[in-house]
Each structure stands twice: as structure tokens, then as C-alpha cells.
Amino acid sequence: MRTAPSLARYPAPLIALHWLTLALMIGVYALIQWHDALPKGSELRTLAKAWHETLGVAVFALVLLRLPLRWWLGVPPALAGTPRWQHRLASSMHWALYGLLIAAPLLGYLSLNAKGTPVPFFGLQMPAFLGPDRALAGNLKEIHEAVGTLGYWLIGGHAAAALVHHYGMRDGTLARMGWARTQPASPPPSRA
């Protein structure tokens, strides 16, 4: 983990990418839920699935940009006074979320490749990295769905933790991922 001790909050490009990823993830999940609820064979169902895939590929593109930027720009150190176990837990959670942002789209993408179905991306057709293989396609789809379902729990836990920090503990955790000039309820710790 590359920390930049002088930072009080995440660098602006990382903040933008974090919230843009959240917006895309809401779209990715909402579209697949909507797809499941629509009648089989309907045009809207096909459209919902195609946009699930397109936005999922966009999530992957953003994480590919975000990780090198994170390494280059650095991230703020743990808030002073944070117990070590809590910082470790938060870090593990963050890396699990990065794992989700990489694994879910990759598995979805490869499952379509193995099925021999084109992968859409804003009207373009993405290249295939696997040849058709029905059995593999079925397995990749199942793992993709399991990872996607696990994502609800990871994201739910992560968002709940951020809100508990903000409204319960009233520390500056949420402010580190925002642009607002408002100070956290308790004075920010010195990082001398």
C-alpha cells in the first residue's frame, strides 16, 4: 500500500473515479435485476443485459486506470487514533472491493467469449480472448454470478462502515473521499 503522509484526503482523480465507479455499479446491478424481472425473449430484456455488459466493461476500464493512478498519486494514511486491527480490516475490505471490480467483469466477459457471444461496449464489439467452449462458458457464468452476488455484501458492508464512521463515530473518514470543505465533527488529527 502506497501512502502519502502529507495527504489529508484522497487525491481528486481517485475521488472522482471512486464515485464514478459507484454510479456505474448501481447501473450494473440495477440492469441485471431488471433483466431478471423482464419476460424472456423481450427486446427490453436483451437491452438490459447488453447495458449490464457495457457498464461492466466500463467498470473494468476504470479500475485499470485507477490502480496505477493510486500507486502514482498515493493515498492518505490511516486517521490518527485508528486501532491497527480496524485499519487492517478496512484495507482488506478495500482490496476485496478491488478484487470484485477486476474479477466480476473479467469473468462475465470471458463467459461470453466462451459462449461465442459478442461483448458489446457502447455500440462497439470487443475482441474475444477465448474460443467457444460450452462447458467453460457455463462454469464462468456461474462463478461470475456468485462473485457478483458476493459483491452486494462487500459493497453493502463497505458503505455501511463508511456511514457508521460518518454519523456514528463522527470522524473524518467519509470526508477523505469527498470534496466538501466542511470539517469533520471532531478536529482532524495532526499528522506531524
Instruction: Note the Cα 123 to chain centre separation in Å.
Output: 23
Binding to ligand HEM by residue 174, rule CB under 6 A?
Answer: yes
Task: Name the minimum Å distance from CB 168 to ligand HEM.
Answer: 13
For residue 121, give the DSSP letter.
Answer: E
Residues 170 and 164: their CA atoms lie apart, in Å, by 8
Cell readout for 190 is 495532526
Cell readout for 3 is 501512502
Binding to ligand HEM by residue 140, rule CB under 6 A?
Answer: no
Binding part of the chain for ligand HEM, among 39-47, 97-105, 129-137, 179-187 by CB under 6 A, reads 97-105
Site for ligand HEM in 49-68 (CB under 6 A): 49, 52-53, 56-57, 59
Q: Which of 73, 67, 76, 69 is nearest to 3 (CA)?
A: 76
Phi (first) and psi of residue 76, to 5 degrees = -65, 150
**Which residues lie near ligand HEM (CB under 6 A)?**
18, 21-22, 25, 28, 32, 36, 49, 52-53, 56-57, 59, 70, 75, 90, 94, 97-98, 100-101, 104-105, 108-109, 111-112, 119, 141, 144-145, 148-149, 151, 155, 158-159, 162, 173-174, 176-177
